[in-house]
């Protein structure tokens, strides 16, 4: 490991530990690591490994998403000339499932219009429901730190959204009908944003987007081809930041996933190389 990698990991672990504890760390200790004398051999990780079957042409009709059981007049419908603002307006007006009845705010997503990375989570929690913004609670603050550790920021180069736009009660898993009712929103967002990479956080988002029941431990750790119809997007799943807040043991593999994404961004000349 390089000194920079060690420092990044130490800060990441510090942050995760601090967030897990009583409050948030406002400053980190100074670390003075040195490079390892020889590179640590790492098993080659397949980039953009095809792990999902070929899918039909548009994500809106992506086989990953179950079809809405009962199309209703309120169901989200893609418009001719789509825009992020149009989608956000439809999300806020949507009454396609019963989650609409309990929301304070729908949470369409936010971030850069031409993102390097689209980060996709599960659905709003109470802080997000209260604010109308994605990932603003404890898990969201940890997510921001994790992204910053690899040079990603919602203000400039990534977009953050969820597969579900309204908060499920008691933060339960979304039900299939709810996921189906929301499916076209995230599909249209992916199509419009056309990100270079997708970073999917957590089991629910991973299983929903990939239409699989595989556990997150099997989905994470490698790039998967995500077919939108018009292109293939490298898709990386990792643990949800809430899971990292609950389980210390997941921090190291999550950091490995983030390093994989950073390396891929560097190899695609989308971020400057840190190792040369």
For ligand URA, the binding residues (CB under 6 A) are 121-125, 128, 134-135, 139-140, 162, 202
Q: How far apart are CA 238 and CA 250, in angstroms?
A: 10
Q: In the complex, what is the shortest distance from the CB of residue 123 to ligand URA, in angstroms, rounded to a whole number?
A: 6
β-bridge mates for residue 22, sequence order: none
Sign of dihedral through CA atoms 240, 243, 247, 248? positive
Q: In the complex, what is the shortest distance from the CB of residue 121 to ligand URA, in angstroms, rounded to a whole number?
A: 3
Q: In the complex, what is the shortest distance from the CB of residue 208 to ligand URA, in angstroms, rounded to a whole number?
A: 11
Q: Which is nearer to ligand URA, 180 or 205 (CB)?
A: 205
Say if CB 249 and CB 260 are below 8 A apart.
no
Q: In the complex, what is the shortest distance from the CB of residue 136 to ligand URA, in angstroms, rounded to a whole number?
A: 7
Alpha helices in 26-164 (DSSP H): 84-93, 126-131, 138-149
Q: Which is nearer to ligand URA, 60 or 139 (CB)?
A: 139
* Burial annotation 125-155 (CB, 10 A radius, 16+ → b, else e): bebbbeebbbbbbbbbbbbbbbbebbbbebe
Q: How far is CA 53 from CA 46, 49, 213, in A?
A: 17, 11, 14
Q: Which is nearer to ligand URA, 246 or 268 (CB)?
A: 246
Q: In the complex, what is the shortest distance from the CB of residue 83 to ligand URA, in angstroms, rounded to a whole number?
A: 22
- Residues with Cβ within 8 Å of 34's Cβ and at least 6 positions away in sequence, in order, are 3
The residue sitting closest to ligand URA, measured at its beta carbon, is 121
Q: How far apart are CA 105 and CA 130, in angstroms?
A: 6
Q: In the complex, what is the shortest distance from the CB of residue 126 to ligand URA, in angstroms, rounded to a whole number?
A: 9
Q: Which is nearer to ligand URA, 130 or 177 (CB)?
A: 130
Q: How far apart are CA 19 and CA 10, in angstroms?
A: 14
Crossing angle between the packed helical segments 138-149 and 3-20, to the nearest 10 degrees: 180
Q: In the complex, what is the shortest distance from the CB of residue 255 to ligand URA, in angstroms, rounded to a whole number?
A: 19
Token pair recorded at residue 182: 């929301």
Q: Which is nearer to ligand URA, 125 or 195 (CB)?
A: 125
Token pair recorded at residue 120: 């996709």
Q: Which is nearer to ligand URA, 115 or 121 (CB)?
A: 121
Q: Which is nearer to ligand URA, 8 or 124 (CB)?
A: 124
């Amino acid at each position: 490991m390089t000194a920079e990698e060690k420092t990044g990991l130490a800060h990441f672990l510090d942050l995760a530990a601090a967030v897990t504890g009583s409050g948030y760390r406002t400053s980190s200790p100074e670390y003075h690591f040195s490079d390892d004398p020889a590179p640590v051999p790492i098993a080659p990780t397949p980039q953009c490994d095809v792990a999902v079957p070929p899918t039909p042409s548009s994500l809106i009709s992506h086989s990953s998403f179950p079809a809405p059981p009962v199309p209703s007049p309120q169901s989200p419908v893609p418009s001719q000339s789509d825009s992020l603002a149009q989608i956000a307006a439809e999300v806020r007006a949507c009454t396609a499932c019963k989650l609409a009845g309990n929301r304070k705010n729908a949470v369409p997503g936010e971030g850069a219009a031409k993102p390097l990375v689209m980060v996709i989570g599960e659905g709003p929690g109470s802080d997000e429901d209260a604010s109308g913004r994605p990932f603003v609670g404890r898990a969201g603050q940890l997510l921001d730190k994790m992204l910053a550790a690899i040079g990603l920021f919602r203000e400039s180069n990534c977009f953050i959204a969820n597969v579900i736009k309204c908060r499920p009660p008691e933060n339960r898993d979304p039900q299939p009908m709810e996921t189906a009712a929301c499916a076209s929103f995230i599909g249209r967002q992916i199509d419009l944003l056309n990100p270079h990479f997708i970073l999917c956080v957590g089991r629910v988002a991973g299983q929903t987007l990939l239409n699989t029941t595989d556990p997150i431990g099997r989905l994470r750790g490698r790039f998967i081809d995500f077919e939108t119809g018009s292109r293939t997007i490298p898709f990386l799943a990792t643990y949800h930041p809430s899971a990292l807040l609950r389980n210390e043991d997941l921090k190291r593999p999550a950091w490995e996933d983030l390093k994989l994404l950073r390396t891929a961004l560097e190899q695609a000349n989308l971020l400057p190389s840190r190792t040369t």
